[in-house]
Amino acid sequence: MTDTQARKPTGTVWDVETDVIVAGAGCAGLAAALGAIERGAETLILERTGGWGGASAQSGGLLYLGGGTTLQQACGVNDSPEAMAAFLRAATGPGPNIEKIDIYCDRSVDHFDWLVSCGVPFKAELYDEPGWEPSGDQGLMYCGGENAYPFNTLSEPAPRGHVPQMTGKRTGVKGGGWMLVHHLAKMAGLRGSSINYDSSIERLVVDDSGIVTGVIARRYGTEQAIRARRGVVLATGGFVFNDDMLSEHAPHLLGRLKLGTDGDDGRSIRLAQGLGAAVARMSSAEAAISVDPRLLVRGLLVDGTGQRFINEDSYPGRIGQKAMTEHDGEIFLLLDEAGYDEDAARSFGLGLSWVGADAAELEAEMELPKGVLQATVDVFNSHAEAFGTDPAFHKDPKWVRPLSGPIGAIDLRLGEMTFATFTLGGLDTTIDGEVRHVDGHLIEGLYAAGRTTSGIPATGYVSGTSLGDATFFGRRAGAAAGLR
């Protein structure tokens, strides 16, 4: 017996009883509670902080949905589950979870309709500019590089970033993510779910046959034994704020900017592992480059040798992952006067570190290998001038133009703020949120959802797959627990 387990033999008196216990009141936990309620289950949510929200409420609120949602149709967008699946299989790999992707795409339209039925508002307007999220309250945008190489060669690109409508939004404080969680929490309350705040799960309880039957929770310093007659759903986030777990599984994230809350400490993962739960893809992470996409598309990204390594109109999370894992974070963004946008640079605290009259002078200022940066710019410029194309990395022609006159470089090696990270690995679960044991069998009575699990974003990431994945599979996990 480990310190994350506790046995409650048959006949033991419980302090509290319910049908389904949900750990965590972010979007995954709230969706799980609603899924359980929809199956007629009495539900109790345990949230360690003083209110609902978690990392979900701090986010911009993007939900990666598609296949022909009513919002897409209202914006004149054609999409299909097959095109959506083809993109996600490529963008979330290598090693994507095909089973989860397929059911997610097949039922994405229904899931969007369910969110709307929960009161989540979406404005039928397409935002068709590079950006992390819409500049206003538009409801739809490209958010994963669907319209950039190589993904635009695999299936017909379609914008699939569904953003809850929010006026006066302040991402990180009160934005689209807050709006999403607000409506899920409101609906959970209206449908009868109870929430105990300041309640943290200390241990999972199993009976003599190994079935999870409840939890030991601590609230205001007092322990309670809470029975779950049908199941326990773990949905307390990832582990980016646990440096010990990062050191073991994802050391490349140490010292980087962390996205989330201090509740993303891996507690639920460790609790389940105490019962022998399997984990998957624990080294995987989002590592988005903290640069305004409006700047990226207008410049050239080069590595520490002065060579390009990716098309600059790609999804910033893909750029960041590649830069951090394959180029040791040694990257620079080249811009000329026509491409430099002072407001866009200032929004991320960036500025030019070097300026040269041309590429050769800039190369010398940056102390890069002689001739390499100049050759990089010359090759790009020659094709841009002659053909308006980028045959080396296939940047969209609408962003292809030669760099001319003085050229500056933004140093993107400048410490922890360059890459914004959170973990993608977690418990190995079925499409119904059932937690697998390391020997392959299912741990009866135990379910999980959200970043506590390894879900749609397997190794590659796409904006919106966290909230989309969490709400979709959270609802399924709650429903499965409610039917047990």
Q: Give me the mean pLDDT over the 206-220 stretch.
A: 95
Tens digits of residue pLDDT in 135-158: 889 999 999 999 999 999 998 999
Q: What is the DSSP letter of 95?
A: S
**Does position 65 have pLDDT exceeding 80, yes or no?**
yes
CATH superfamily, region 1-290+420-484: FAD/NAD(P)-binding domain (3.50.50.60)
pLDDT exceeds cutoff 90 at 218: yes
Span 213-238, average pLDDT: 96
Q: Is the pLDDT of residue 10 over 70?
A: no
Q: What is the mean pLDDT of residues 276-284?
A: 97
Note the residue count of the chain. 484
User: Residue 1 — pLDDT band, cuts 50, 70, 90?
Assistant: very low
pLDDT cut 90: percent of the chain above it = 85
For tokens 């039957």, name the residue. 213
Integer CA distances (angstroms), 162 to 48, 116, 165, 260, in order: 29, 11, 9, 20
pLDDT in tens, 426-472: 999 999 999 999 999 999 999 999 999 999 999 999 999 999 999 99
Burial 331-357 (b: 16+ CB within 10 A, else e): bbbbbbeebbeeebbeebebebbbebe
Question: What does the pLDDT average to over 205-229?
Answer: 95
* pLDDT at residue 174 is higher than 90: no
Is-contact 285 250, C-beta < 8 A?
yes
- What is the Cα–Cα distance from 142 to 148, expressed in whole angstroms? 10
Question: Which pLDDT score, from 0 to 100, does residue 13 have?
Answer: 82
- Do residues 300 and 319 make contact, with C-beta atoms less than 8 angstroms apart? no
CATH 3.90.700.10 domain span(s) along the chain:
291-417
Say if CB 469 and CB 104 are below 8 A apart.
Answer: yes
Task: Give CA–CA dist 233/479, Å, rounded.
Answer: 10
Mean pLDDT score, 10-30: 91
Tell me what pLDDT residue 131 has: 86
What's the mean pLDDT in 317-339?
A: 92
Q: 3-class DSSP state for residue 36?
A: helix
Q: For 369-428, how does the pLDDT look when each residue is reduced to its tens digit (9 = 90+)?
A: 999 999 999 999 999 999 999 999 999 999 999 999 999 999 998 655 688 999 999 999
199 DSSP β-pair partners: 219
Tell me the CATH architecture of domain 291-417. Answer: Alpha-Beta Complex (3.90)
Q: Give span(s): CATH 3.50.50.60, the chain.
A: 1-290+420-484
**Considering the chain, what is the average pLDDT of its residues?**
93
Q: How confident is the model at residue 345 (pLDDT cuts 50, 70, 90)?
A: confident
Instruction: Look up residue 249 and give its amino acid.
Output: H
Check residue 12 and report its DSSP letter.
Answer: P
Q: What is the pTM of this model?
A: 0.94
Label residue 170 by pLDDT band (50, 70, 90). Answer: confident
